[in-house]
């Protein structure tokens, strides 16, 4: 099938970011109508829309930490399309803090990370649940190998992604059989954000990855598409796209 998601509606939070825009492109090229959210990067969101094949796509300024805004966004999806077949929770935030520097990981940053990375994803599922239930929908949570390794941008980020994976399992059980829920768990992804970091740090991370290369954003899009189309029996699982990083 050249357009396996034809007549389907996909909602992608954080769709203007490096991973989000690749997911939007992969789903749109497979026939889906895309509704993406952004918090502050309006120009980037417009650029993503203009790059997508097909018609009917839209961008919406929604802060996932605002549950009321998410409910209104779900109502807008219902008004526009009367359905949501796929929700991808890709919105996230972090800031680099050395793990041993406990004082720099202040309460404000901890709360921001968990509000966005965990509560935001949960609130999006809560808001879109009625639409997802109508046609047997799928939730894909974009997690991270940091959830397993405990090595990432900061301790709170690692913990938020571990919490997301636990949520994936809990909601897969709670929302079955009408809604499937999976996590896609990338390793180090070749976004502009990563490419602009210290080259020595990046090379060290690649040396610890058996395949010796960055995961490409498009490969995260492929994993989301596979979960939506080819891997229908899957729910409550964590799909690793990490180059074998946990093996090192």
Residue 34 is part of a domain; what is its CATH number? 3.40.50.720
Q: How far is CA 245 from the centre of its chain?
A: 19
Say which DSSP state 247 is in. G
pLDDT of residue 194: 77
Tell me the average pLDDT across 67-80.
Answer: 98
Amino acid 200: pLDDT: 84
Residue 65 lies inside a defined structural domain of this protein: yes
Residue 1's pLDDT band, with cuts at 50, 70 and 90, is low
Q: How many independent structural domains does the chain possess? A: 1
143-192 residue pLDDT tens? 999 999 999 899 999 999 999 999 999 999 999 999 999 999 999 898 88
Residue 238 has pLDDT above 70, yes or no: yes
Does residue 140 form part of some domain? Answer: yes
Q: Please check whether residue 212 lies inside any domain of the structure.
A: no
Which of 157, 171, 188, 227 is an active site residue? 157
- Quick one: what percent of the chain has pLDDT higher than 70? 100
Residue 68 lies in a domain: yes
Over residues 8-31, the pLDDT tens digits come to 999 999 999 999 999 999 999 999
Q: What is the DSSP letter of 215?
A: B
Q: Which pLDDT does position 191 carry in this prediction?
A: 87
Q: Is residue 2 part of a domain?
A: no
Q: Which domain holds residue 83?
A: 9-189+217-238
CA distance 194 to 91: 16
For position 239, what pLDDT does the model report? 98
* Partners of 181 in the β-ladder: 139
Question: Is there a domain that residue 197 lies in?
Answer: no
Distance CA 83, CA 81 (A): 5
Helix then strand count (H, E) for the chain reads 10, 7
- Asked about 38 being catalytic, the answer comes back as no
More confident residue, 92 or 192: 92
Task: State how far the alpha carbon of 153 is from the alpha carbons of 102, 118, 119, 161, in Å.
Answer: 13, 16, 19, 11
The reply to whether 204 falls in a domain is: no
């Amino acid at each position: 099938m050249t357009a396996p998601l034809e007549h389907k509606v996909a909602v992608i939070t954080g769709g203007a970011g490096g991973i989000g825009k690749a997911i939007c492109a992969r789903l749109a090229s497979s026939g889906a109508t895309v509704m993406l959210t952004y918090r502050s990067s309006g120009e980037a969101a417009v650029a993503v829309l203009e790059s997508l094949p097909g018609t009917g796509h839209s961008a919406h300024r929604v802060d996932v930490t605002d549950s009321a805004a998410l409910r209104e966004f779900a109502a807008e999806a219902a008004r526009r399309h009367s359905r949501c077949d796929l929700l991808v929770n890709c919105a996230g935030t972090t800031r680099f803090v050395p793990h041993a520097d406990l004082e720099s990981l202040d309460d404000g940053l901890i709360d921001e990370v968990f509000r966005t990375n965990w509560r935001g994803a949960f609130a999006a599922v809560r808001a879109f649940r009625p639409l997802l239930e109508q046609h047997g929908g799928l939730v894909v949570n974009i997690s991270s190998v940091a959830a397993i390794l405990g090595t990432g941008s900061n301790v709170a980020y690692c913990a938020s992604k571990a919490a997301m994976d636990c949520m994936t399992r809990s909601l897969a059980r709670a929302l079955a059989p009408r809604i499937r829920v999976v996590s896609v768990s990338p390793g180090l992804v070749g976004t502009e954000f990563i490419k602009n970091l210290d080259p020595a740090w990046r090379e060290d991370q690649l040396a610890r990855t058996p395949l010796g290369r960055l995961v490409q954003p498009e490969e995260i899009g492929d994993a989301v598409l596979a979960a939506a189309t080819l891997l229908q029996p899957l729910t409550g699982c964590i799909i690793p796209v990490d180059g074998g990083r946990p093996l090192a």
